[in-house]
């Protein structure tokens, strides 16, 4: 029997034997409904999604079909359903290569794979390394299989994540801990290429949680926005946990700018200095009781006692992103046909470059062909006395 409370999303749903269940003789009043309809909460993690999609989501995720994963030296309990291929569903343990994220039903398959796998780190460019962690930028267009496997893995631990969009629309920033054996994945965040948002999805793997990596990934996304000289923010809607984490990060960054106290500062200046979007700056300061609005004037009230209380509330400081260790100047992701005119910092692969060269050659040859046809028709018209249009047909 599958045990789950009606109407609720339960973490770590599981199968129970008949002997573990106890009978209850309590009966519900017949005049009361079994379930209660509730108005949708705008803060719900599925807020903003249409009802048809939510029905499909509930149907697809109501049963957890992979109980555990073995990745590296860790055996991890899974939390939610993930749409892995059918041949690896309904297994007690799914074995995953921690370097290329390939997955196997049997441990012996993983062991054979490990003898041949040459990967020791995520594909893509290593853009950051400090004394403990590295960050790799992985383009979903160029590393499709790895990014799809990463999405399958993350769906095991994210209930609200959807896999509707192809990975080529996103760039993934994969965080690793490194040692002599290679780079071991600890988490990641993704970002849609052609979007003002600086983060779409974020995950710290369960075995690496409580290390401050969640705030580090958020801080890293804003470090990239600073390099691009623009404000950014997360994709909405946010889950309750995501909202709490972001407000803690925003509060920490804004407090750092407002200490020591300044006589005059604008909200726009705070946004530009932190790359936090203007509306997020306002929402954070209002929530923390720092921003006071009287008529057309805004005041920031931040006495020492308030500062101390806020620092205690947000917990330990975020792990610092060492700016000197970040080697990244920004990316411009281009559609087909525009590679030859790309700026120097554009992300361009060799196959895409070759395709665009061939495309340009075809266009040029078609143009030459049309010019030759026109001149041939003009010469024929000159000889026969017909108009150019009649001669060219």
Cα separation of 182 and 13, whole Å? 34
- The residue with tokens 């700018």 is 257
In the prediction, which pLDDT does 380 show?
66
Burial class (CB in 10 A: 0-12, 13-18, 19+), 336: exposed
Residues of the chain with pLDDT under 50: 1-12, 32-49, 53, 336-348
160 three-class SS: coil
- Which entry of 67, 177, 228, 235 is annotated as an active-site residue? 235
Q: What is the pTM for the complete model shown?
A: 0.72
pLDDT at 35: 42
CB atoms within 10 A of CB 288: 19
Q: Which residues pair with 347 in a beta bridge?
A: 333
Interatomic CA distance for residues 152 and 83, integer angstroms: 7
Closest CA to 110 of 91, 121, 95: 95
Domains of the chain, each with CATH number or no CATH? 1-17+49-119 (3.30.60.60), 120-333 (3.40.630.30), 339-391 (no CATH)
Residue-wise pLDDT for 35-56, tens only, equals: 444 444 444 444 444 565 456 5
For residues 158 and 205, the answer to whether their CB atoms sit within 8 Å is: no
Predicted pLDDT of residue 368: 74
**Residue 235 annotated among the catalytic residues of the structure:** yes
- Pair 142, 349: CB distance under 8 Å: yes
């Amino acid at each position: 029997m599958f045990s789950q409370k009606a109407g609720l999303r339960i973490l770590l749903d599981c199968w129970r034997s008949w002997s573990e269940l106890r009978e209850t003789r309590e009966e519900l009043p017949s005049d009361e409904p079994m379930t209660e309809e509730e108005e949708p909460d705008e803060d719900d993690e599925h807020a903003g999604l249409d009802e048809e999609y939510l029905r499909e989501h509930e149907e697809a995720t109501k049963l957890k079909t992979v109980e555990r994963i073995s990745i590296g030296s860790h055996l991890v309990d899974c939390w939610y359903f993930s749409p892995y291929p059918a041949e690896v569903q309904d297994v007690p343990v799914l074995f995953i290569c921690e370097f290329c994220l390939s997955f196997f039903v049997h441990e012996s398959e993983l062991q054979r794979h490990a003898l041949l796998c040459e990967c020791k780190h995520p594909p893509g460019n290593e853009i950051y390394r400090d004394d403990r962690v590295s960050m790799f930028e992985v383009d979903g267009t160029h590393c499709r299989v790895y990014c799809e496997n990463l999405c399958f893995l993350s769906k095991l631990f994210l209930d609200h994540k959807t896999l509707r969009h192809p990975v080529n629309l996103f760039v993934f920033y994969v965080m690793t801990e490194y040692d002599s054996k290679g780079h071991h994945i600890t988490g990641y965040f993704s970002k849609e290429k052609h979007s003002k948002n600086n983060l779409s999805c974020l995950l710290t793997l369960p075995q690496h949680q409580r290390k401050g990596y969640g705030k580090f990934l958020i801080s890293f996304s804003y470090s990239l926005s600073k390099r691009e000289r623009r404000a950014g923010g997360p994709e909405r809607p946010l889950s309750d946990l995501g909202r709490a984490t972001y407000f803690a990060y925003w509060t920490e960054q804004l407090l750092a700018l407002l200490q020591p106290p300044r006589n005059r500062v604008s909200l726009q200046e705070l946004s530009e200095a932190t790359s936090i979007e203007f509306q997020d700056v306002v929402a954070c300061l209002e929530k923390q009781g720092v921003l006071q609005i009287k008529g057309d004037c805004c005041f920031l009230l931040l006495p020492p006692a308030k500062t101390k209380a806020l620092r205690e509330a947000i917990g330990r400081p975020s792990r610092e992103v060492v700016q000197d260790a970040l080697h990244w100047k920004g990316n411009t992701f281009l559609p087909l046909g525009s590679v030859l005119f790309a700026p120097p910092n554009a992300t361009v692969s060799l196959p895409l470059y070759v395709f665009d060269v061939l495309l340009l050659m075809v266009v040029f040859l078609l143009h030459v062909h049309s010019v030759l046809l026109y001149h041939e028709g003009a010469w024929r018209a000159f000889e026969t006395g017909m108009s150019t249009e009649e001669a060219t047909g």
